[in-house]
A and B are shown apart, each in its own frame.
Chain A
Amino acid sequence: MFSREPRAPIEVHVFGLPNFLVIEAGETMMIRENRSVWIDSANIADDPGPFCMSFAFDLGVLADSIKKIGLLNPPYVIGKKQGQGFEVVSGYRRVLAVKALGWEKVLCKDISNSVTSPLEYLVFNLYDNLATRTFNDVEKGMILCRLDPLVPRKEILEEYMPLLGLPSHEPTLEVYLRVPDLALEIKEAFARGQLSFQSVRALEDMDSLSQSQVFKWISELKFNFNQQRQFLEILVDLALKDGISVFEFLAKEELSRYLEDPIENRPQTAKRTLQALHELRYPRLTRAERIFREKVANLNLPEGAILKAPAYFEAPGYCLEVRFRDGKSLKRKMEALLNIKQLANLDDAWVEKE
């Protein structure tokens, strides 16, 4: 392990930060007096503090790197107001890593005298991170949440959201602003890309019990994004219709058995669960689909002939698809079709014949 000696104070020029600081030289921000100082690790706050934008990171990789080649980029800190210890502005993960490695002192840049407002600290950290990595969705929520009290909404929408790779769309902003309030396990899944944005939006509108129960279902059955969407949409509709919470709805015996007592493998259980919900939400449509399937099965169509209904039976009529090898086989199949007497009775799918 090797460490670096403090270097002479340097002047840092940061370009292209229109919202950043008052500026002494046109659009160039000068950070002066960013003193390099050795600070006792114990004097640096352990908590993420108000400027942190890191979530669900792997400290091990960073710690290994520091162990091998040292701390290349010092964390930026400011003195706490009460004069006791330091708060991390940028480099929270590095601080955690060196603490984990047992370093007693850390070489930091103290920017207490050069940057003075919470917004400036926040933007400093944002651009410092942006230059080196992409943010996960929870981190984006943390950043927007921290900017929200300090920056006009319009500016967040027009400048910061595109910077984070998000659309300038107020409802999207609202979803991200509520992300930090979600339970840790949900945030971790969102950060890892296991939960879709739409799922998170739906979860945010639920009470905490429902949130955790839904999350349990999604994670145990490993629903993909499309399945998550179906699951949540139907679930919310059914719970609202019954006037109960999603938590209460999922506790119903007819559903809970899928999770508590699965008789099939996970993908099959996931499929069965969605089917059960679909039947509860769309009883008449499901019945019509069943009747149609039965009617078609009773026709005994020749091999290679498929009778299809339009989506949701909305458009009029049906579609017959016949696969054939050559003209002779087509003729045979057509003759077989013409001889199916029950074809004449094929009518509305939803009408069940006695």
Chain B
Amino acid sequence: MDIKIERMLVQKEAKDYPMASRIRERGGGIPVVFEHSEMGSEREWKETLPEVGKQTLELISFKGEFLKPCPGTKEYICCGYQILNIGTNCPLDCSYCILQAYFIENYMRIFVNLEAKLNVIAHIIDTQEENIFRIGTGEFTDSLALDPLTGWSEVLVSFISKRKNAVLEFKTKTDQIRGLLNTPTREGIIISWSLNSPSIAAREERGAPSLRKRLEAARQCQQEGFVVGLHFDPLIEHPSWRKEYVKTLELLDKYLDPRRIIWVSLGSFRFMPSLKPIVRKRHPRTCIFDGEFVIGLDGKMRYFKPIRMEMYGFMREKLEQWYKDLGLYLCMESDEVWKKSMGWSPGTSKGLSEYLDKRVLQFFGAPGD
């Protein structure tokens, strides 16, 4: 996978952080076209640059909270994940990406003051020993797409390995695993791949490596001793979707050892209504809106309930035929859908958190072990 970055914007307050220097050094020939101040930065450079996009990388000093719980909603069962904010947007251009509606511009931002804020994050984790922190960096960006530039893996693996009650999940659609493979520890690290059917991957996940490449990378990580996770999210109803998803499941069998998979999540495509016109404009040939969507209890559009249950039930059946103990769970679903498609329910978000915490303990052992 080639990262095509044509220009860099650097906030003045950000330029002296080690990550900023590292990115500029590793970026080699990427020109820094604008240095701006924190205040009114966008306004300043927007007047100079007529167009920014996925080829533009902005380095900033992030003023917000780096570690935040996944917002979830009270209407659906949430996994109780903690989001580690390391940047926004990524070089991939998936048609269904919700970030298109979150951010008006789709240039990438890296929070280069991450290392300087690790002590704050460490304090939060270390002072709550009774809790297990399942942390992920893949909420607002791909966890590994920019790793060759940013060195996130070097920084974060070393940080997490010192924590007794935290695991860090790198969630990706890429094969950028070199940085991770070079790290000395596997403790508390989960590398997860977002997967879909071959036709959805080819048609809707523009710029992402093929499923085979992703799974080759996953296999290499398993062979190197890493724990792996899988995410079938978003599941998309498309022509022959059953056959199509089975093709992916057959690839899983070919590449991966299911005993070293900590969890597999299933989530059906859902979106804020405001995303649709944006996607229609940016990806006019998309098929992601072809299904029957209704307004969910959280105000997002989601497939009509029996369709979701059918998809989950099908995936569950096929995945369990492969291996019984995959740590299957649903992302943002109701108790009813859980019971009718998975045969059981954690009942509440707390219940799902406990279930996933148990998977962590099963794979990494209890704190202090």
Contact = CB atoms under 8 A, between A and B. Distances in A.
B305 A313 contact: yes
Nearest to A233: B276
A350 B337 CA distance: 14
Contacts of A240: 280, 289-290
Contact of A315 (B287, B289, B292, B297): B297
Given A237-B289, A241-B290, A285 B304 contact: yes
B292 A285 contact: yes
A288 B304 CA distance: 10
Contacts of A314: 294-297, 302, 305
Given A237-B289, A313-B305, A285 B294 contact: yes
A312 B306 contact: no
Contacts of A281: 292
Contacts of A348: 306
Contacts of B305: 312-314, 350
Contacts of B174: none
B205 interface: no
B295 A311 contact: yes
A284 B334 contact: no
Nearest to B302: A314
B292 A283 contact: yes
Interface string B268-306: 000000000000100000010110101111000010111
Interface string A305-319: 000000111111000
B336 interface: yes
Interface in A240-266: 240-241
Contact of A312 (B287, B289, B304, B335): B304
B364 to A, nearest CB: 36
Main secondary structure of the interface of A (DSSP, over half): helix
B307 interface: yes
A283 B302 CA distance: 15
B336 A350 contact: no
A282 B304 contact: yes
Interface string A72-109: 00000000000000000000000000000000000000
Nearest to A282: B292
Given A312-B304, A348-B306, A350-B306, A284 B292 contact: yes
Interface string A193-235: 0000000000001000000000000000000000000000000
Nearest to B294: A312
A236 to B, nearest CB: 8
Most buried by B among A282, A285, A314: A314
Nearest to A170: B104
Name B's interface SS.
Answer: mixed
A282 B289 CA distance: 12
Contacts of B296: 314
A288 B305 CA distance: 11
B295 A284 contact: no
B273 to A, nearest CB: 10
Contact of B304 (A205, A284, A315): A284
Interface string A274-288: 000000011111001
A281 B280 CA distance: 17
B332 to A, nearest CB: 13
Nearest to B303: A284
Contacts of A311: 294-295
Central interface residue in B289, B296, B304, B335, by most chain A CB within 10 Å: B304
Nearest to A283: B292
A348 to B, nearest CB: 7
Contacts of A313: 304-305
B214 to A, nearest CB: 28
A39 to B, nearest CB: 43
Nearest to A316: B336
B210 to A, nearest CB: 25
Contact of B334 (A241, A312, A316): A316
Contact of A284 (B287, B289, B297, B306): B306
Contacts of B280: 205, 240
A237 B292 CA distance: 10
B307 A312 contact: no
B177 to A, nearest CB: 37
Nearest to B47: A154
Contacts of B295: 311-312, 314
A310 to B, nearest CB: 9
Contacts of A316: 334-336
A352 to B, nearest CB: 11
B294 A284 contact: no
A256 B247 CA distance: 41
The CB with the most chain A CB atoms within 10 A, among B287, B290, B295, B306, is that of: B306
A66 to B, nearest CB: 46
A237 B278 CA distance: 14
A154 B48 CA distance: 13
Contacts of B334: 316
A285 B301 CA distance: 14
B307 A284 contact: yes
A237 B296 CA distance: 19
A348 B341 CA distance: 14
Interface string B126-161: 000000000000000000000000000000000000
Interface in A327-353: 348, 350
A283 B291 CA distance: 10
A312 B289 CA distance: 17
A241 B239 CA distance: 11
Contacts of A283: 292
Interface string A291-331: 00000000000000000000111111000000000000000
18 contacts: A154-B47, A205-B280, A237-B289, A237-B290, A240-B280, A281-B292, A282-B294, A283-B292, A285-B292, A288-B306, A312-B295, A312-B305, A314-B295, A314-B296, A314-B297, A316-B335, A316-B336, A350-B306
Interface of B: 47, 280, 287, 289-290, 292, 294-297, 302, 304-307, 334-336
Given A240-B290, A311-B294, A316-B335, 5 more contacts: A240-B289, A241-B287, A284-B307, A312-B294, A350-B305
Closest 8 pairs (CB-CB, A-B) = A312-B294, A316-B336, A350-B306, A241-B290, A282-B292, A285-B304, A284-B292, A285-B292
